Structure 1
């Protein structure tokens, strides 16, 4: 796959009456990259994905693939997995996958081979003759992913692909997405599971009120934030570090104090204060997790705009 095969979302805006769903949303997903798309409920993630697919039209802005506009022809090479079930509930699993592959231009023999391979890969081969509505929610989700992959897409756009999956299925799906990226496929997905996004994704985009407010690797996003320290001083009184200028206690983990240092705060003063009540078993800097970064970005005046998405 050529390296210029990149999905670009360029300043797209969308309004429903007085409600602004997207406001000049801009990001790209590069060849062979896993891009995590996170934001509060109603932040605009699904709207952006549907515009990328051509399901919705933008009021302004442009979606490009490999440097050119998205057309009916190249939409056939996109694999899409909606958050809501997009399968025919009374169709049998194998029959449905073959049908969808054929809609994307595969011959019957190609469609049969691909459907069989993906049913095996995703652990639903034994349910091939079952109607989708008779499957568990987790198995329906596996079939939904197979439907997104069965035509060997050049781009993957997945809305909450890990929803309802058990840990084994999460591992299987994670491995599949990594394999697709290793072959050069750009993959963008949204998820409530921020720890999973952090573990899998090359880059992350955080959306708030229809705008991309932060985009980059987790390391890049956290580099501009305040320093955090984890201090294990078991005999120190609760809140012992709050008296130090520029230092605040943001939480406790297994009895350890998690501290945030504001601009100009001196970590050596923190160590000195901790040593006043020895022992000090741990004193370490910590990079903020994606969950912490998300809370910081989507919170205004201490009140979150919604649940992580």
Structure 2
């Protein structure tokens, strides 16, 4: 059973349909990616989950029961738009936000000390928020989001404002939170982060859920039957066989080896490619090339765009 479910979520703003009967199923103790271009409806769905706004239709279910106001205490939310008070001191604000989430002052101080040292921002404790860089402010907000150890964490574009080193630090912390039992939903444009972190994804475009499922399964569903082969031996013979029997996309010499990129037909397999050339070369490596999540993202968005254009013309 899913830890969190959204069923038939509809949200309209004036004449704009922001969400059109969106369903998601977030498995317990998973990292779940919400993908989509700007304006797709991701942030609207996240705001509905957090009860910042309500759906026009549909139901939200958390751990087997309809989402209630009291459940918000078990949700940690890091919004894309940063919400720290610029004139407050960093430490004072962190304690204030921790107290709002139910921690005592002593517990808040103890945990904040640990996290500020871990994220190397302890020298900023008595500085005003307005003195922080965007990345520093993001660290503070991440800390107060996770401090009360909620069972469901929601991050909206969590890597915005981070350099590669700090983005990697954040990824490591997200993986640790999962290991400790948290269920995590995050919205991002960073497709490499999706492949590194996400067990499941939903791709939303124009308010509709276009794809939903395990990340690797989604990639396999959009495979293009491309295989890569690294070999040494009779290059001319192998090249001719690959051209005659398959669709040869690339063939090149790399040091003492050769590399070939081959597209097989729907009724052909990697094994058939290997069987065709094995007597003429020594195989050093081979693999099926799955599309990246970035490739899938672009393909699905473009397909929907083309379909919409056809409907408008007809």
- SS of the equivalent of 2:24 reads strand
Q: For the residues of structure 1 that align with 2:271 and 2:108, how far apart are their CA atoms?
A: 64
**Distance of aligned partners of 1:34 and 1:128 in 2 relative to their CA distance in 1, 3 Å threshold:** same
Residues 169-195 of structure 1: CA distance to partner in whole angstroms, max 9, x if unpaired? 122211211121112111011112111
Aligned to 1:209: 206
Larger-Rg structure: 2
- SS of the equivalent of 2:12 reads strand
Aligned to 1:118: 115
- SS of the equivalent of 1:297 reads helix
- SS of the equivalent of 1:300 reads helix
Bigger helix share = 2
Structure 2 residue 303 is the aligned partner of structure 1 residue 300: yes
Equivalent residues of 2:225, 2:263 under 8 A apart = yes
Aligned to 1:170: 167
Q: For the residues of structure 1 that align with 2:241 and 2:159, how far apart are their CA atoms?
A: 40
**Range 112-121 or range 187-196, more displaced:** 112-121
- Number of positions where the alignment pairs a residue of Structure 1 with one of Structure 2: 298
Gaps of 5+ in 2: 309-314
Q: CA deviation at 1:69?
A: 2.2
**Distance of aligned partners of 1:301 and 1:215 in 2 relative to their CA distance in 1, 3 Å threshold:** closer
Aligned to 1:74: 71
Aligned to 2:6: 9
- SS of the equivalent of 1:26 reads strand
Aligned to 1:229: 227
CA RMSD of aligned residues (A): 3.4
**Range 182-191 or range 241-250, more displaced:** 241-250
Equivalent residues of 2:9, 2:19 under 8 A apart = yes
Q: For the residues of structure 2 that align with 1:5 and 1:101, how far apart are their CA atoms?
A: 29
Structure 2 residue 215 is the aligned partner of structure 1 residue 218: yes
**Distance of aligned partners of 1:40 and 1:242 in 2 relative to their CA distance in 1, 3 Å threshold:** farther
Q: CA deviation at 1:268?
A: 8.1
**Distance of aligned partners of 1:118 and 1:267 in 2 relative to their CA distance in 1, 3 Å threshold:** closer
Alignment of 1:89-238 (within 5 A): 89-224=86-221, 225-230=223-228
Q: CA deviation at 1:22?
A: 0.7
Q: For the residues of structure 1 that align with 2:35 and 2:25, how far apart are their CA atoms?
A: 14
**Distance of aligned partners of 1:183 and 1:271 in 2 relative to their CA distance in 1, 3 Å threshold:** closer
Q: For the residues of structure 2 that align with 1:42 and 1:246, how far apart are their CA atoms?
A: 41
Residues 162-221 of structure 1: CA distance to partner in whole angstroms, max 9, x if unpaired? 112122212221121112111211101111211111111111221122122212222211
Q: CA deviation at 1:246?
A: 8.2
Equivalent residues of 2:270, 2:288 under 8 A apart = no
Q: Which TM-score applies when normalising by structure 1?
A: 0.82
**Distance of aligned partners of 1:188 and 1:241 in 2 relative to their CA distance in 1, 3 Å threshold:** farther
Aligned to 1:291: 294
- SS of the equivalent of 1:299 reads helix
Gaps of 5+ in 1: none
Q: Which TM-score applies when normalising by structure 2?
A: 0.81
**Distance of aligned partners of 1:243 and 1:304 in 2 relative to their CA distance in 1, 3 Å threshold:** farther
